[in-house]
A and B are shown apart, each in its own frame.
Chain A
Amino acid sequence: MTALRSFLRYGIGEATRGGPAYHLWMALLTLLMCVGLFAYCVQLDQGLAVTGMRDQVSWGFYISNFAFLVGIAAAAVILVMPAYVLEEMDFKRAVLIGEAVAVAAVLMAIAFVVVDVGGPARLWHVLPGLGRMNFPRSMLAWDILVLNGYLVLNLGIPFYLLFTRFRGHTPDRRRYVPFVFLSILWAVSLHLVTAFLFAGLPARPYWHSALLGPRFLATAFTAGPALIILILVAIRRHTEMPVADRTIEKLAMIVTVAAQVCCVMSISEIFTETYRSTHHSHSARYLFFGLDGHNRLVPWIWSSLALQFAAAGVLSVHRWRQRLPVLLAACSALVVAIEIEKGMGTIIPGFVPEPWGKVVEYAPTWVEFAVGLGIFAMGAFVFTVLAKVAIPVELGKVRYTGPV
């Protein structure tokens, strides 16, 4: 217990200590969170009418970001497999970062669902035991369980590893490896369940496709590791944590293959929806070409596809991929491309046209942007704290020396 208390005291101390740049960064994030909180208060007061959503497009920016972030969270454990299963030492350090990204992403995903519901005060109705969860019928009930389970796993495993190291012991493989395997399985099912949430609705032909699940995984395994590459390079530059080139190279390889798969899936989808276009292709036609003069999403989806194909092409050439500036540019392009595709390009067109064929377009309002910004700031805040506390322990710089 003393060791635990000392660990927590170290954690709080470490999170609140730092240079001017660190404090400025955290102050900026806090400010953004306050902006988001203000916008959320406006929304609570006046109702979801302050968003761009209406009966025809009843999910928007919030649920789009939820889907994107669940993908990021799921993909973060792609690092876990080689590290613990294949015992790759250089990967092991990156894993802690990956798990911190997963925790931050899950928290952001949960936050995006919470701000989307009309009655957040009644959310206790979903709690098992207290409320009446519609399990196993509702995929949303599944998603609530899977998301929270994933959060616990990704907090638990790094906590065990760091705490053991903090006490100067070596982590016991028999204790954590089973959970590592579980979390890998969990990550895949987490994102599949999220895809099934949409794919299980025959009412929305654009989502009701067997490709949606695999496509969610492919985009996640592109954007997730791409984001982690960007973060690892930033960490290598700004902290003392060494990140081996080999780690970055391996991650880049994962990103490349996943991005290629994404391209194949995009082509497959465009072909199926356009070669013999039916009523069920109206959403896809709206997305890619516009429908009855409504074409708000068209520039977005083509920019996304252009970025995705260009990045996948560049990364496919070994010599280009090995040059860091090129890699970083390609990874940024992929993160942006997939955020657009999964958000604006997947969730919104599911609702357009509405079930009786009318086209009602959707655009987020300032409230949605501000709330979203606040949630992203919250995620960055959580990640910064987790990484800042974890890195010195991982590097063996802090040790518990008191009584056991």
Chain B
Amino acid sequence: MKNGLVQILSQPMDRRTAITVAGCAVAGAATAAASVANAINPFASPESREASRLEWQRYFQENYRLMSEEEKTEALLRLERLHQLKHGGRISVSGAEPIEKVLFGYAFNVSKCRGYLECVSACIRENNQDRASGMAYIRIHEHRNGEFDFSKASDTFDHPVPAEGHFYLGTQCFHCQNPPCVDVCPVKATWMEPDGIVVVDYDWCIGCRYCMAACPYDARRFNWQAPEVPEADLNPNQHYLGNRMRQKGVVEKCTFCIQRSRDGRNPACVEACPTGARIFGNLLDPQSEIRWVLANKKVFRLKEDLGTDPKFWYFMD
């Protein structure tokens, strides 16, 4: 199997297809002109020529979900090599597939959360979020006792916590079982994996931001500028659909730390929470802690009226 354009170019075609393909090739060529010029430039260093060649291949690669096994492997190796060529450091990009009979779910104990925001910073570090713009997937809302109105809660509080007379509640991507963001994407760049995680292919996303308009939970973030993470702070253990570095102009979001959860570990926010307010696990495993919570606690979900069926529950002790 060859990827995207190569596949099309190697087929016999009629005149009309040829014109379409040629048109696209021109558009692609224009944008990738710099990388091609560099790839064939005899005076450029071998490293920068190799990087340009890899960028060129990456530009024409197929939507990740539709790649063959070899194409996936190629894409993963390409990302690792590109990082080494550009930044010198080594990263490992996993393509770990979903595990059978696993459907991930999350529960948040409102009684235990005290607003320490450890989850927020752990998430930023784990997922290589842009430091310059202060991007964060998790928002902790500080509610006054006796009120449950998000518009009156504060998610920018800056004082010792827990504040007297307040309670705390976190929101992030709820990995809806019926996700509106997936429906609206014009290019199928975002989808729900069989284990229930809603992911984005950062190399396929065109950056139209329709998914952001469709999300009722403010779960999605856009790279308004090229994201920056200092090499020393970079988490090198990455997943293609998770915390690998994004590019300028694409959408990203919480992936339940896919690089950890598919490895049998808890997401970074769960691990970082000092009060144990966060519970994560396999909804299909009757012995899991999350199933115990769902069976024994009075749970609720947010904006249930929208029919999104979030896999993210809240409960109180």
Stretch in B159-167, B186-194, B236-244, B257-265 touching the partner = B186-194
B193-208 vs A, Cβ < 8 Å mask (1 yes, 0 no): 0000000000111111
Q: Is A230 part of the binding interface, using a Cβ–Cβ cutoff of 8 Å?
A: no
Of the residues B24, B251, B306, contact of A203 by C-beta under 8 Å: B306
Beta-carbon contact of B215 and A355 below 8 Å: yes
Beta-carbon contact of B24 and A127 below 8 Å: yes
Beta-carbon contact of A117 and B187 below 8 Å: no
Contacts of A119 in B (CB 8 A): 205-207, 247, 249-250
Of the residues B180, B188, B222, B251, contact of A201 by C-beta under 8 Å: B180
Beta-carbon contact of B208 and A48 below 8 Å: no
Of the residues B186, B226, B247, contact of A134 by C-beta under 8 Å: B186
Chain A, interface SS category: loop
Beta-carbon contact of B210 and A138 below 8 Å: yes
Beta-carbon contact of A138 and B216 below 8 Å: no
Beta-carbon contact of A125 and B206 below 8 Å: yes
Interface size on B, residues (CB 8 A): 61
Q: Is A20 part of the binding interface, using a Cβ–Cβ cutoff of 8 Å?
A: no
Of the residues B27, B133, B149, B248, contact of A357 by C-beta under 8 Å: B149
Beta-carbon contact of A356 and B155 below 8 Å: yes
Beta-carbon contact of B213 and A134 below 8 Å: no
Beta-carbon contact of B186 and A202 below 8 Å: no
15 A-B pairs besides A122-B204, A357-B151 with CB distance below 8 A are: A46-B225, A48-B222, A53-B224, A55-B224, A116-B208, A118-B250, A119-B207, A119-B250, A132-B188, A200-B184, A201-B180, A201-B213, A204-B213, A355-B215, A355-B217
Q: Is A325 part of the binding interface, using a Cβ–Cβ cutoff of 8 Å?
A: no
Beta-carbon contact of A48 and B224 below 8 Å: yes
A133→B184 CA distance, assembly (Å): 11
A44→B36 CA distance, assembly (Å): 19
Chain A residues in the interface with B (C-beta under 8 A): 46-49, 51, 53-56, 58-59, 113, 116-127, 129-134, 137-141, 144, 197-198, 200-204, 279, 282, 350-351, 353-358
| Nearest CB of B to A207, in Å | 9
Given contacts A118-B249, A357-B152, whether A203 and B180 have CB atoms under 8 Å apart is: yes
Beta-carbon contact of A118 and B222 below 8 Å: yes
Contacts of B31 in A (CB 8 A): 120-121
Beta-carbon contact of A131 and B187 below 8 Å: yes
Beta-carbon contact of B186 and A126 below 8 Å: yes
Beta-carbon contact of B213 and A122 below 8 Å: no
Give me 23 A-to-B residue pairs in the complex whose CB atoms sit less than 8 angstroms apart, sorted by A's number: A47-B249, A48-B224, A48-B249, A49-B133, A51-B224, A55-B222, A56-B218, A59-B209, A113-B208, A118-B207, A118-B222, A119-B250, A121-B32, A122-B59, A124-B28, A130-B5, A133-B186, A137-B183, A355-B217, A356-B150, A356-B151, A356-B171, A357-B150
A202→B178 CA distance, assembly (Å): 13
Beta-carbon contact of A118 and B185 below 8 Å: no
